[in-house]
C-alpha cells in the first residue's frame, strides 16, 4: 500500500507565528498544506481570507490545498489561484452548478476537488467523479476544529472508493476532521488517500514527529 498523503491543516496552527508554523511543515514529511476558508454563511464560523493565504504562499514549499467552505465560490477561485492554491475544493452543497464550478477551477490550472458534508450521500457525486481530482470527505461537521470524528465515515469512504473505481476516475479521497493516529489505519484501509490533520498535529509537543508517524501508518 502506498504511503498516505499528509496535509496538516493550518486552521489549527498558531496564527501569531504563522511563518514558523509553515516552515515546520516545510521541514516535515508533510506533502500538502491544507487551508480552510470559511465565510460565516455556508459554515457558522469565519477563518482566514486571501491576505493570509498569500502570506502562507510566501513561505510555503509544499502545494497549497485550499478548501472553500463558502457560498458562491466561483466569485473567488481565481483570486485563490493567484494567491497560490494548487488544489481548490468546493462543497457540493454550496454549488447548484457544480460541473461549471469544476470546469472553472480546471481552466485556471488548478486541481479540482469537491467536498462533501457528513450528512450528504455519496451519490450526490456520481455525475462529477470522472471530472475531479479529489473528494474531500468531511468526517466532522464543517466550521470548527477539534471535533470528534464521525464513525460512519469509514463506510462512506469504502462506498466512495467503489464508486470512484467504477467510474474510472483517478480522484483521491481526502479525509478532513478528527484524523489521528488511532483512526488513520482504518481510514486508509477503507480507501482514503489523503489525511488532513489539524489539532492532532499542531497541539503536539513535536509536530514533525506526529506528521512522520501519520506518514508511516501501517
**Per-residue pLDDT reduced to its tens digit, 116-165:** 999 999 999 999 999 999 999 999 987 665 568 999 999 999 999 999 99
Runs of H (alpha helix) within 7-85: 18-27, 50-59, 77-82
% of the chain residues with pLDDT over 70: 97
State the Cα–Cα distance between residues 62 and 10, nearest whole angstrom: 13
pLDDT band at 65 (very low <50, low <70, confident <90, very high): very high
Q: At CA 93, angle to CA 88 and CA 11, rounded to 5?
A: 50
What residues act catalytically?
36, 176
What is the domain count for the chain? Answer: 1
- For residue 48, the model assigns a pLDDT of 86
Domain containing 54 equals: 5-215
CA 170 from centroid of its chain's CA atoms:
17
- For residue 206, the model assigns a pLDDT of 97
Q: What is the pLDDT of residues 177-210, one digit of tens each?
A: 999 999 999 999 999 999 999 999 999 999 999 9
The backbone torsions φ and ψ at residue 7, rounded to the nearest 5 degrees and listed phi first, read -130, 90
What value does the mean pLDDT of the chain take?
A: 94
**CATH code at position 179:** 3.20.20.70
pLDDT tops 70 at residue 8: yes
pLDDT tops 80 at residue 73: yes
Name the pTM for this structure: 0.95
- For residue 1, the model assigns a pLDDT of 56
The backbone torsions φ and ψ at residue 133, rounded to the nearest 5 degrees and listed phi first, read -100, -15
Amino acid at each position: 500500500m502506498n504511503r498516505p498523503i499528509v496535509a496538516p491543516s493550518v486552521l489549527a496552527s498558531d496564527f501569531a507565528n504563522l511563518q514558523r508554523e509553515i516552515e515546520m511543515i516545510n521541514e516535515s514529511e508533510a506533502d500538502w498544506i491544507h487551508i480552510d476558508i470559511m465565510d460565516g454563511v455556508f459554515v457558522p464560523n469565519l477563518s482566514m481570507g486571501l491576505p493570509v493565504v498569500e502570506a502562507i504562499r510566501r513561505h510555503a514549499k509544499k502545494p497549497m490545498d485550499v478548501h472553500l467552505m463558502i457560498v458562491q465560490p466561483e466569485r473567488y477561485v481565481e483570486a485563490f489561484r493567484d494567491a497560490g492554491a494548487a488544489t481548490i475544493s468546493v462543497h457540493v452543497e454550496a454549488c447548484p452548478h457544480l460541473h461549471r464550478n469544476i470546469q472553472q477551477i480546471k481552466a485556471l490550472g488548478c486541481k479540482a476537488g469537491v467536498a462533501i458534508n457528513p450528512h450528504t450521500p455519496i451519490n450526490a457525486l456520481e455525475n462529477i467523479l470522472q471530472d475531479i481530482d479529489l473528494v474531500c470527505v468531511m468526517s466532522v461537521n464543517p466550521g470548527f476544529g477539534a471535533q470528534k470524528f464521525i464513525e460512519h465515515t469509514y463506510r462512506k469512504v469504502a462506498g466512495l472508493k467503489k464508486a470512484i473505481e467504477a467510474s474510472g476516475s483517478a480522484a483521491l479521497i481526502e479525509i478532513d476532521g478528527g484524523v489521528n493516529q488511532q483512526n488513520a489505519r482504518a481510514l486508509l484501509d477503507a480507501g482514503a488517500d489523503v489525511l488532513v490533520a489539524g489539532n492532532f498535529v499542531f497541539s503536539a509537543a513535536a509536530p514533525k514527529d506526529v506528521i512522520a508517524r501519520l506518514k508511516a501508518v501501517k
